[in-house]
Structure 1
Amino acid sequence: MAPMEKMRGCSLMNDLKFLINNKNYSDIKIICQDDSIIYGNRAILAARSNVLDRLLFNGMKESTINEIRFPEINFNAMEIILEYLYTENFESDSISLDISIEAYHAADYFQLEILQEKIVNFVKKSLKEHHQQCDLKEKGGILAPVLLSKAVEKMSPLADNEMIKLIIEWISKTPLETIGFDNLSFQALQCLLSQTYSTQNPFVTSEYMVFRYSVIQAANNISENAISIIEKLLPNFDDLKKNNNNNNFNEECNENDYDEYFSQFEEFRLEIKEMLSIILPFIDLRRIDINILVDKIEPLQLLPTPLLLDAYRFQAREKKSLPHIRGIPLFDWNLQWDKIAKGSNLILKEYNTVVESNPGGLNTTHQNIRANNIINGEGIYEWEVIIEETCIYAWVGVCTERGLDYNIFAGQQSCAWVLGSSGKCYHNNIGSHYVSEFSSGTKIIVHLNMTERSIAFSVNGVMHPPVSTWDNLPSKLYPIVSLNSPGRIRLGPVRDWNHIQHNNRKF
């Protein structure tokens, strides 16, 4: 008996897999993109897909000839479709990120929902692995933008499906200014902005930088010189913030240089304006500082006057802009205690989400530990701290990036701001009354407003005003707690975002 004959009958999956693209046993040719051919079996294809059943057995042209054409599906994607139809198998070895969008689109066309889910999970795993290898500033790397650009070529930029949602989730965690203009197409940018405009998901790019990136992306379709001119006329947000302290938003270049840049900009202004009009409905000008709107954006004459007036009227009524970043801060993802940045008598449990003071330790004074995530962007950041076991006052708050002595009570130090279970707030050894005393089981939500550099606390569901004497916090902060034995404190994201109205919070 031949070796191949021995194998048959042992595994239905292997026997059916043997039929895939086997010309000897096929009765139909499937002609894919670029006229590539893959061979199949009518009965199996029709039995496994309603779409193919209608095409092959319902009197259509394809039911009377021995070939069927799918000019928008390439050979590799069709091979994945056939393997799944024949064997119900999906091996990650048979797919790569390069063809994942093609495969997902094909699975969507043939209404194979389970296969779509498997491909989405593959992409999710691949992006996570890439994320772990990337530098912190490249959280989405270039993979997610490239995938979204491919996806909008196959699907509408306004499409609402699990693949696009997943990719947008990853891009949202990446500052737009770190994404190369050739990696994220203009259509993909439209898709990203349209689906995050009213989001309650994490987003990290300020709205001014969203506008700036959009204008430069439009200029990218004109010339490198156009990009260079826009970069001069619309400086990055960090440079603007520096000049904001001096109330001078035009300090980046002298008047003569600015006039020269503006004169060159006029050559391609109308072209950029036309392209920009596609995505303007998905840029929220109310989130951009009014001085930036007046000094930097309005002179470019890229925006319809009614759109600018709406933003001015809103800010005139509210006396301020909305938070500078759409959505919610990225900060709450994977929030844990830092196993290195802690006092010598503190121990971590439950995947670093719980900290305890070692009851057998020699040190009986308060010690500190900070979280693993730094806070350094505009917006409102909120996290939850549960005092599972109190001690001689447990303390909750924030500290700076450097300068903290982890073995000395945080409230005595100039680089920390903490609320204690005594009900008092302490900073630089100066205390003030804030709330009533609280004990074990108390849930505290910290509300850190990095736009206004202020902090407030909710204690057991009751939100209190910002601490009046802490009105100019630093630009980079970490969550921190201070405790001694038998203290036990749990850290995590706010469990229920629904009761928090981020965009309209006034505190």
Structure 2
Amino acid sequence: MARGCSLNQDLKLLVNNPKYSDIEILCKDEKKLYGCRAILAARSEVLDGLLYNGMKETYETQISFPTINSSGMEIILEYVYTGSVREESLTKDNTVEAFYAADYFQLPELQDFIMKVLKCTLETNYLENYSPELLTKVSEKMPLTEDNILLNLLVEAVAIIPLNDIEFGRLSITGLKYLLSITHEKEIPFATREYEVFRYSAILAAKQVSNNTYRILMERLPILEQIDNSITTVGNKIITDREKVAKELEPLVKFIDFRKIKVQILADFIEPLEIISDKIISNVYRFVALLNNLDLCDIRGKLTGYVWDETACGSKLVIEDNGKTIHALNSCGYQNVRAKIALENKGYQSTGWVLSSNGYCYNSNTRLSYCPSFGSGTKITVHLDMNKRTCAFTVNGTKYPEVLAWNNLPSKLYPIVSLCYPSRFRIQLHQKN
């Protein structure tokens, strides 16, 4: 395009172009960028104060920003010169740096744009979610305050991912600490049961100590599913560096609610490690004794994980909307998809307990007329009482009684739907009025 046809295109020619610049910008990573002093000052009050303050910066040809990386500064220059930023300019590697720089230079509209792009990216790329890495970067780059909108967005995004699905190394101790501190004793959707929170924290702490200690903790702390199904053998290797592990784990311990971990697991797997203080352990035993053997819910906040599991999904079903929506492709016959988290944590059902769109309830070979048939747009609420092992449904606003034939449900249930083209199904937590 010839010059003079588009102001935006013409101004892009000035971005980081030494030919048209009169000041060098030295960044934290020692990379040198180039800018026009007058344009920078006109677009940011912070830059105006730095470049035209009557002091030495006014006359020098170089300005240094020791806390801003060049990847973030390049986004600032693109925005300052053209008034916009291309979505593709924001990547996994520069989003946090760009947000930090926009905050530093007091460019709220750029911050809003970065938040909008990031939120859209996290929702549409559920299978390639890089929120743990971003949470790590933010927690190490910016103040850990509850009014930090970027941190809060990333906490929400990471909280709905089971920690077992996050490879060690993607989330730092600092990032995990912020995740646990914000969700501790809060009604925030969370996907990880408290034992798994401890397990992930302890293994991550061990990884900071040594590879050998990391391997021992991996061996001695099985995942909850292995414990529930008695398919694990507890390792007995001694943790020689347990004091170091306990020290690394210390910032996280106060944000782990050990009362939510079943006392048998506490006794068999956690106490023998000797990385949690005797006081914490004894307080849990005392609490459970005073509770008169009643079990607490073993997950913090609102039970979540109500996203569809791509590993238990028919080949012609597509998961989207950050895992919440499933739809059937053209030519798809009936196929099933399972939600990512169970509604309890012991045992497995051998058959299904099903409410069909024809209004019948099914279990094995039993069929029971329950409600009128329903179709597209139907809203269904499942009322599960896992203490009494009973189930009831609300269909399009009408609540029906408990399914009398289902009076002893198993202690572990997965939400599952079966659908065919052109069906679309969205799963979400019930919100109380």
TM over 0.5: yes
The equivalent position to 1:146 in structure 2, one of 133, 137, 144, is: 133
**Residue of structure 2 in register with 1:360 after alignment:** none
Q: Which structure 2 residues correspond to residues 292-331 of structure 1 after superposition, within 5 A? A: 292-316=265-289, 317=291, 319-326=293-300, 327-331=302-306
Deviation at 1:458, TM superposition (A): 4.5
Give the 3-state SS of the residue equivalent to 2:233 in structure 1: coil
The equivalent position to 1:69 in structure 2, one of 64, 68, 76, is: 64
Deviation at 1:431, TM superposition (A): 7.4
Superposed CA RMSD in Å reads 4.1
Change (3 A) 1:24 1:215: same
Conserved in 1, the CA contact under 8 Å of 2:390 and 2:402? no
**How many angstroms apart in 2 are the aligned matches of 1:10 and 1:480?**
55
Q: How many residues align?
A: 410
**Residue of structure 2 in register with 1:191 after alignment:** 178
Give the 3-state SS of the residue equivalent to 2:34 in structure 1: strand
**Residue of structure 1 in register with 2:339 after alignment:** 374
**How many angstroms apart in 1 are the aligned matches of 2:77 and 2:28?**
15
**How many angstroms apart in 2 are the aligned matches of 1:450 and 1:376?**
15
Deviation at 1:416, TM superposition (A): 3.2
The question of 1:231 aligning with 2:218 is answered yes
**Residue of structure 2 in register with 1:472 after alignment:** 409
| Structure 2 residue identity aligned to 1:319 | N
The question of 1:116 aligning with 2:53 is answered no
Conserved in 1, the CA contact under 8 Å of 2:382 and 2:393? yes
Change (3 A) 1:189 1:481: closer
**Residue of structure 2 in register with 1:9 after alignment:** 4
Conserved in 2, the CA contact under 8 Å of 1:374 and 1:476? no
**Residue of structure 2 in register with 1:393 after alignment:** none
Deviation at 1:298, TM superposition (A): 2.3
Give the 3-state SS of the residue equivalent to 1:373 in structure 2: strand
**How many angstroms apart in 1 are the aligned matches of 2:176 and 2:381?**
34
Residues 175-212 of structure 1, C-alpha deviations (whole Å, 9 max, x = no match): 32232222221111112222233454443222111101
**How many angstroms apart in 1 are the aligned matches of 2:156 and 2:41?**
36
Which is further off, 443-452 or 18-27? 443-452
Q: Which structure 2 residues correspond to residues 12-91 of structure 1 after superposition, within 5 A? A: 12-59=7-54, 61-91=56-86
Deviation at 1:282, TM superposition (A): 1.6
Conserved in 1, the CA contact under 8 Å of 2:197 and 2:256? yes
Which is further off, 208-217 or 273-282? 273-282
Deviation at 1:110, TM superposition (A): 1.3
Conserved in 2, the CA contact under 8 Å of 1:190 and 1:279? yes
Which is further off, 442-451 or 167-176? 442-451
Conserved in 2, the CA contact under 8 Å of 1:208 and 1:288? yes
| Structure 1 residue identity aligned to 2:259 | R
Deviation at 1:312, TM superposition (A): 3.5
The share of aligned pairs that are identical, in percent, is: 36
**Residue of structure 2 in register with 1:209 after alignment:** 196
| Structure 2 residue identity aligned to 1:374 | A
Give the 3-state SS of the residue equivalent to 1:447 in structure 2: strand
Which is further off, 309-318 or 178-187? 309-318
Change (3 A) 1:8 1:374: closer
**How many angstroms apart in 2 are the aligned matches of 1:17 and 1:23?**
13
Change (3 A) 1:491 1:447: farther
Conserved in 2, the CA contact under 8 Å of 1:375 and 1:476? no
Change (3 A) 1:461 1:195: farther
**How many angstroms apart in 1 are the aligned matches of 2:336 and 2:186?**
26
Residues 290-336 of structure 1, C-alpha deviations (whole Å, 9 max, x = no match): 1111222223333344433443344342633332223322225799x
Conserved in 2, the CA contact under 8 Å of 1:446 and 1:457? yes
Which is further off, 56-65 or 269-278? 56-65
Change (3 A) 1:59 1:293: farther
Conserved in 2, the CA contact under 8 Å of 1:194 and 1:282? yes
Give the 3-state SS of the residue equivalent to 1:10 in structure 2: coil
Conserved in 2, the CA contact under 8 Å of 1:158 and 1:194? no
Report the TM-score, using the length of structure 2 for normalisation: 0.78
Change (3 A) 1:51 1:463: farther
**How many angstroms apart in 2 are the aligned matches of 1:420 and 1:470?**
22
Deviation at 1:495, TM superposition (A): 7.4
Task: Specify every segment of 5 or more residues in structure 1 that has no aligned partner in the other structure, as ranges.
Answer: 1-5, 135-139, 245-250, 342-349, 354-367, 381-398, 402-413, 483-488, 500-507
**Residue of structure 2 in register with 1:284 after alignment:** 257
Conserved in 2, the CA contact under 8 Å of 1:76 and 1:99? yes
Deviation at 1:54, TM superposition (A): 2.5
Whichever of the two has the greater Rg, that structure is 1
Deviation at 1:217, TM superposition (A): 0.6
Change (3 A) 1:447 1:60: farther
Deviation at 1:88, TM superposition (A): 0.8
**Residue of structure 2 in register with 1:275 after alignment:** 248
Deviation at 1:101, TM superposition (A): 1.7
**Residue of structure 2 in register with 1:97 after alignment:** 92
**How many angstroms apart in 1 are the aligned matches of 2:342 and 2:387?**
8
**How many angstroms apart in 1 are the aligned matches of 2:386 and 2:400?**
18
**Residue of structure 2 in register with 1:344 after alignment:** none
**How many angstroms apart in 2 are the aligned matches of 1:120 and 1:452?**
44
